[in-house]
A and B are shown apart, each in its own frame.
Chain A
Amino acid sequence: MKRSRFPFIVTGLVLVFFYLPILILVVDSFNASRFGGAWRGFSIKWYVRLFHEPAIWTAARNTLVIALIVTFVSLLLGTTSALALHRFSKSRFQRVHYTLIYTPLVVPEILMGISLLMAFVAAGVKLGMGTIILAHVTFCISYVALVVLGRLQDFDFTVVEAARDLGATGWTATRRVLLPMLAPGLAAAGLIAFTLSVDDFVITFFVAGPGSTTLPIRVYSMIKHGATPLINALSTLLLALTFTTVLVSQRLSKSGALEGGQ
């Protein structure tokens, strides 16, 4: 039976649609011309210029500090949450808990941004790095919890029971058996939290204060003020970082899949 080629043609076009703008951006970052569209020779001067921009370095440092703290805290909260959802799945309380974990995922970012801003203003909290961290953890918990929960559902709990039968205490079994086997899932969840935190603009913009500029906020103000070649260079660097992260996480999930299958 002959299959229609139409879906494959659409897929090809969709991939061109996905990658062409990104490709043009990357090529333009090496363009000596100030404006895209006309090639004036290969140059890395925008990267050199970027390197000498102190504001970028401060923003990068802020972003990294925020992302690391957010990853740690949301891994902790998300994992305990997933363990509760999994182990007590029949409890009515967990159904409420699950709804609470799930809802932030379907709320548009701008709503989370404005509601957090209002809460911080109402409570008289000073906006800055601290409020950004609180906000990021809030949206990262749900992603971490669902990724880890997915892992737990494929998890062979008889192994933990075996450890208990052989005399391990609950805590030892968790630490020596459950956590190591869950490690690839935790790493994948951590990567997601880290990437979400590094990338977030909308919520961050609402709860940021003076002195807490992050990279996306920096990029946004550069877009607004027309520093095009510099953004091209910065974007290319961030894209390279993202691609590496995706490759690493694919590796992690593959090794995780193998472990789960055995």
Chain B
Amino acid sequence: MKNLRRRGQEFFLTLPSFFWLSLFFLIPTALVFILAFRPADPFGGIGRGWTTATIKGLADPQYLAIAWRTLWVSFLSTAFCLLLAVPTAYAVARAPERRRNLLLMLVIVPFWTSFLIRVFAWKSILHPEGLIKKALVFCGLVDPSSQLLYNLGAVILVTVYTFLPFAILPIYAAAEKFDYRLLEAARDLGARPFQAFRKVFLPGIRQALVTAVLVVFIPSLGSYIVPDIVGGPGSEMLGNKIAQRVFVDRNLPLAGGLSIVLILAVLAPLLGVLALQGKKARIQPPEGGGKP
């Protein structure tokens, strides 16, 4: 009897979110896979019948180049984010407590700030009339006619800017719990500072590094605002193509086909990490959210 009541309670507490996410997350995601095999109708909707033309059309060299570029931009952005996030997280974790709270706060604020505004801020300073351009020309570092905006470099720079806080936070969470006596022990045993850092500290926070890679790499694969605002025609990514198919020529099936490519690109690193961790241990909860 008590068991039955418990079952009932579980059912009523789970039902609302389960139902909602099934209806507005699972089914729509499945729909992307189905609608990609439907023809587009001339009014921007979805036609009748079935076709594989859209999926075959994805082999177009134009799309292959863009998929490849998307992978590269995401890879480089992730690498730069890690290079900056590890020393920063380490420094914040080792700062005296009062300064640590202030530093942490300074890292969190951009995390909360509007994405669009942060991208726009860069557009206005990289602009030909903007401050950075003027400063660089003044120092003789760049040619007055050079363009800082609308290229791949700008896309990577701004991607790093927008995702860096996401990389710092999980690494900080692990660095804060790290037992730094281990580093001292390594030093006492004759390791050079960098050697101790690389062989003791980095393996100690490995889980957090994986989390940081995922939280930067996966959203940058889906980047759309950054290349749209600071990128040019030569730096378009998959996200831009999906948006163009939706907003410019309203071809939803083709947008769906491109989304499938993106979903596969997102799943690959995720499954890779799961497979690696599955071998190690299943007990460890994923960082960032507590597993019940």
Contacts and interface: CB of A to CB of B under 8 A. Distances in A.
* A-B complex is real: yes
Interface stretch (A41-49, A53-61, A114-122, A177-185): A114-122
Given A102-B289, A195-B112, A84 B14 contact: yes
B242 A4 contact: no
Contacts, number: 255
- Prevailing SS type, chain B contact patch: helix
Interface string B234-268: 00000100110010000010011001001100100
Interface size class of A (residues with CB under 8 A): 35 or more
Given A114-B256, A119-B31, A10 B219 contact: no
Contact of A87 (B10, B108, B214, B224): B10
B134 interface: yes
Nearest to B105: A250
Interface stretch (B58-66, B119-127, B139-147): B119-127
Interface in A176-231: 195, 199, 201-202, 206, 216, 219-220, 223, 228, 231
B13 interface: yes
Contact of B289 (A19, A121, A149): A149
A28 to B, nearest CB: 7
Given A114-B32, A118-B32, A138-B20, A108 B13 contact: no
Contacts of A101: 17, 21
B24 A232 contact: no
Interface stretch (B49-57, B85-93, B148-156, B202-210): B85-93
29 contacts: A11-B103, A14-B84, A17-B161, A19-B106, A77-B20, A80-B12, A80-B13, A83-B13, A97-B14, A100-B26, A102-B289, A104-B25, A108-B223, A111-B262, A112-B25, A115-B259, A116-B24, A119-B24, A119-B28, A141-B21, A149-B289, A201-B115, A216-B116, A220-B116, A223-B120, A232-B124, A238-B114, A246-B105, A250-B105
Interface of B: 6, 9-10, 12-14, 16-18, 20-22, 24-29, 31-32, 35, 45-46, 84, 87-88, 90-92, 94, 103, 105-110, 112-118, 120-125, 127, 129-131, 133-134, 161, 164-165, 168, 184, 187, 193, 214, 218-219, 221-225, 229, 239, 242-243, 246, 252, 255-256, 259, 262-263, 266, 270, 286, 288-292
